[in-house]
């Protein structure tokens, strides 16, 4: 196979324990977002807009639903000749099989896949972030600077720096220091977990990392600090668009609610960076004469006869007359019976909210309702 300019390796094996019941039966990148999308749709759509049509998707935790959803990548127009989205789970090697031990190990275990394409650059992505981005300018910047590694960054509030890999740079944006989740940060320039590696540099770095028994096999904790010690050419690439790590119930809720605001930096149907999804064909939604719907996203197959305000409803949700849904996210096939009230809550798939039942509250912590007792 001829040499390729760039391919993407998409990390999609995360369990997402902080999302609690939302990831009980599904990997974090496969969780619903905005009523009709899944979190992984963003990275896959970004690849299409960046003309990166070869994407290795590394799955691990609860992969069945995600594997079926991605298929060969045709929903994101990635299914070109000898290209496409490829599911890459851990598999038997020589005389043993093992789970991916870290982000770097996941890529290392799939070297044979990368070698098939022999790319100039390998773009490492996470499948659990909400953002719209064309990676092509970042790849071109890496080429212009002859960077061994280009890291996409954005400024974050100082009080949140402990959650990220933090970089110091010189006046040319060359990285001089990297702090992984520091207690006391020297900068607020945070890594977004988007890396553009020279394939030759990535190969050598991960082979060394694999042979180090002390390594946690993680890009931020091990690989990047080692490259800096070796005085490799590491540069930062600034991104100023919308970006959220939806790792907690609260951040996931907030990102969904951002869709209901008028924002220029988060437009999933824009011509330039439209987000695609692989949805089944369903009947249109229906809003009854007695329904009251305000500032909400209603997916296909919904049947609304009650009040819905500032909420997001996934497919086939039924809101009966006299029911109230406010500031809420409802997953697929939820039934909200007459007289029930849902406020500031996330309701999981296939849950029935009983007549007169109250879920959530107007203030305070977001309620995650999975049926039975509230959690």
pLDDT band with cut points at 50, 70 and 90 for residue 66:
confident
Residue 148 lies in a domain: yes
Mean pLDDT of 118-127: 95
Rounded distance between C-alpha atoms, residue 338 and residue 324, angstroms: 8
pLDDT band with cut points at 50, 70 and 90 for residue 151:
very high
Residue finishing a domain among 260, 295, 323? 260
Mean pLDDT of the chain: 90
Give the model's pLDDT for residue 15: 60
Give the model's pLDDT for residue 43: 96
Looking at the structure, tell me whether residues 164 and 227 fall in a common domain: yes
Q: Which residue has the higher pLDDT, 333 or 1?
A: 333
Domain count of the chain? 2
Show the DSSP H helices in 180-274 as ranges: 199-211, 224-229, 249-258
The contacts of residue 29 (CB under 8 Å, 6+ apart) are 12, 14, 38, 39, 40, 43, 66, 127, 128
Residue ranges making up the domain that contains 19: 4-260
Looking at the structure, tell me whether residues 229 and 348 fall in a common domain: no
- Assess whether pLDDT exceeds 60 at residue 1: no
Give the model's pLDDT for residue 280: 80
Residue 269 lies in a domain: no
Residue 236 lies in a domain: yes
Residue 265 lies in a domain: no
Q: In CATH, what number is assigned to the domain containing residue 42?
A: 3.90.550.10
Looking at the structure, tell me whether residues 109 and 183 fall in a common domain: yes
- Assess whether pLDDT exceeds 90 at residue 63: no
Rounded distance between C-alpha atoms, residue 270 and residue 235, angstroms: 30
Looking at the structure, tell me whether residues 126 and 175 fall in a common domain: yes
Residue 235 lies in a domain: yes
Residue with the two structure tokens 């939820």:
334
- Tens-place pLDDT, residues 221-269: 999 999 999 999 999 999 999 999 888 899 999 999 999 997 889 999 9
Give the model's pLDDT for residue 238: 96
Give the model's pLDDT for residue 333: 95
Looking at the structure, tell me whether residues 90 and 9 fall in a common domain: yes
Looking at the structure, tell me whether residues 298 and 255 fall in a common domain: no
Q: In CATH, what number is assigned to the domain containing residue 348?
A: 2.160.10.10
Q: Binding site annotation covers 37?
A: no
- Assess whether pLDDT exceeds 70 at residue 140: yes
Residue 206 lies in a domain: yes
Q: Binding site annotation covers 180?
A: yes
Residue 239 lies in a domain: yes
Give the model's pLDDT for residue 375: 42
pLDDT band with cut points at 50, 70 and 90 for residue 2:
very low
Q: Binding site annotation covers 204?
A: no
Rounded distance between C-alpha atoms, residue 8 and residue 66, angstroms: 18
Mean pLDDT of 158-176: 93
Query: Percent of the chain, pLDDT > 90?
Result: 72
- Tens-place pLDDT, residues 297-320: 999 999 999 999 999 999 999 999
Rounded distance between C-alpha atoms, residue 369 and residue 375, angstroms: 6
Q: Binding site annotation covers 165?
A: yes
Give the model's pLDDT for residue 279: 84
Looking at the structure, tell me whether residues 12 and 115 fall in a common domain: yes
Looking at the structure, tell me whether residues 46 and 83 fall in a common domain: yes
Looking at the structure, tell me whether residues 236 and 315 fall in a common domain: no
Looking at the structure, tell me whether residues 89 and 185 fall in a common domain: yes
Residue finishing a domain among 198, 225, 260? 260
Looking at the structure, tell me whether residues 220 and 305 fall in a common domain: no
Return the number of other C-beta atoms located less than 10 Å from residue 176's C-beta. Answer: 10
Q: Which residue has the higher pLDDT, 262 or 85?
A: 85
Give the model's pLDDT for residue 115: 95
- Among 15-24, 158-167, 271-280, the range scoring the smallest mean pLDDT is 15-24
Q: Binding site annotation covers 277?
A: no
Residue 249 lies in a domain: yes
Residue finishing a domain among 200, 225, 260? 260
Q: Which one, of 59, 90, 80, 60, lies nearest residue 1 by Cα?
A: 80
Looking at the structure, tell me whether residues 250 and 290 fall in a common domain: no
């Amino acid at each position: 196979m001829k040499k390729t300019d760039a391919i993407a390796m998409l990390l999609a094996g995360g369990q997402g324990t902080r999302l609690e019941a939302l990831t009980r039966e599904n990997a974090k990148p496969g969780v619903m977002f905005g009523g009709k999308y899944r979190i992984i749709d963003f990275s896959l759509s970004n690849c299409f807009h960046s003309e990166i049509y070869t994407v290795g998707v590394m799955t691990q935790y609860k992969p069945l639903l995600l594997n079926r959803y991605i298929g060969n990548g045709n929903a994101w127009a990635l299914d070109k000749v000898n290209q496409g989205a490829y599911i890459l789970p851990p598999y038997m090697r020589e005389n043993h099989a093992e789970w991916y031990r870290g982000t770097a190990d996941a890529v290392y275990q799939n070297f044979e896949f990368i070698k098939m394409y022999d790319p100039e650059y390998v773009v490492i992505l996470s499948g659990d972030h909400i953002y719209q981005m064309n990676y092509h300018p970042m790849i071109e910047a890496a080429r212009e600077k002859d960077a061994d590694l280009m890291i996409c960054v954005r400024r974050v509030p100082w009080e949140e720096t402990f959650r990220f890999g933090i970089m110091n740079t010189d006046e040319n944006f060359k990285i001089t220091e990297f702090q992984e989740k520091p207690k006391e940060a020297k900068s607020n320039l945070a890594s977004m977990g988007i890396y553009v590696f020279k394939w030759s540099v990535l190969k050598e770095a991960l082979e060394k990392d694999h042979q180090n028994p002390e390594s946690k096999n993680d890009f931020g904790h091990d690989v990047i600090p080692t490259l800096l010690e070796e005085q490799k050419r590491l540069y930062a690439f600034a991104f100023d668009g919308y970006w959220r790590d939806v790792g907690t119930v609260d951040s996931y809720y907030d990102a969904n609610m951002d869709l209901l605001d008028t924002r220029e930096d988060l437009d999933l149907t824009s011509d330039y960076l439209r987000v695609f999804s692989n949805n089944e064909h369903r009947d249109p939604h229906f809003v009854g004469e007695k329904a009251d719907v305000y500032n909400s996203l209603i997916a296909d197959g919904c049947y609304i006869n009650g009040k819905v305000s500032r909420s997001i409803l996934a497919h086939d949700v039924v809101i009966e007359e006299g029911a109230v849904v406010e500031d809420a996210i409802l997953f697929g096939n939820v039934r909200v019976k007459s007289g029930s009230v849902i406020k500031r809550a996330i309701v999981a798939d296939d849950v029935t909210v009983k007549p007169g039942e109250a879920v959530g509250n107007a203030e305070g912590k977001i309620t995650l309702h999975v049926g039975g007792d509230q959690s």
